[in-house]
Amino acid sequence: MEAVGAILACAAAGALGFFAGGRWAPGPLLGAFIGVPFGAVFAVVYFILALWVGETWPQSLDARLVGIMSAILVVAGGACGAVGAVFGYRKSLGASLF
């Protein structure tokens, strides 16, 4: 359950990075820098939601795995957001949005 939430958070960071990279990125490198904070934001959101689920339904989550997944998500979410932003920037070039 913890890993599924972390994967969904990475996918959400990548999707938001794709959207932001396509709209706001002036270049691929700056697009990657735009996408990295989205991963950190989704790591915090994941941790807050995991705490809420753990307090609402006791014994449903393993606290150790939530901590490990949160630590991994800070790095992996940032990478997914950066990759999504670069792909969004590249897509915007092909779609002539700029």
In a domain? residue 14: no
Average pLDDT over residues 56-61: 92
In a domain? residue 17: no
Residue 59 main-chain phi, psi, to 5 deg: 70, 15
- Look at residue 96 and tell me whether its pLDDT is greater than 70: no
In the numeric block, which tokens belong to residue 9?
């958070």
In a domain? residue 6: no
Enclosing domain of residue 57: 28-90
25: Cβ–Cβ under 8 A, 6 or more apart, which residues? 31, 34, 85, 88, 89, 92
In a domain? residue 33: yes
Report percent pLDDT > 70 for the chain: 96
In a domain? residue 34: yes
In a domain? residue 2: no
Average pLDDT over residues 68-73: 94
In a domain? residue 68: yes
What band does 89 get if pLDDT is binned at 50, 70 and 90? confident
Q: What is this structure's pTM?
A: 0.86
Domain total for the chain? 1
In a domain? residue 72: yes
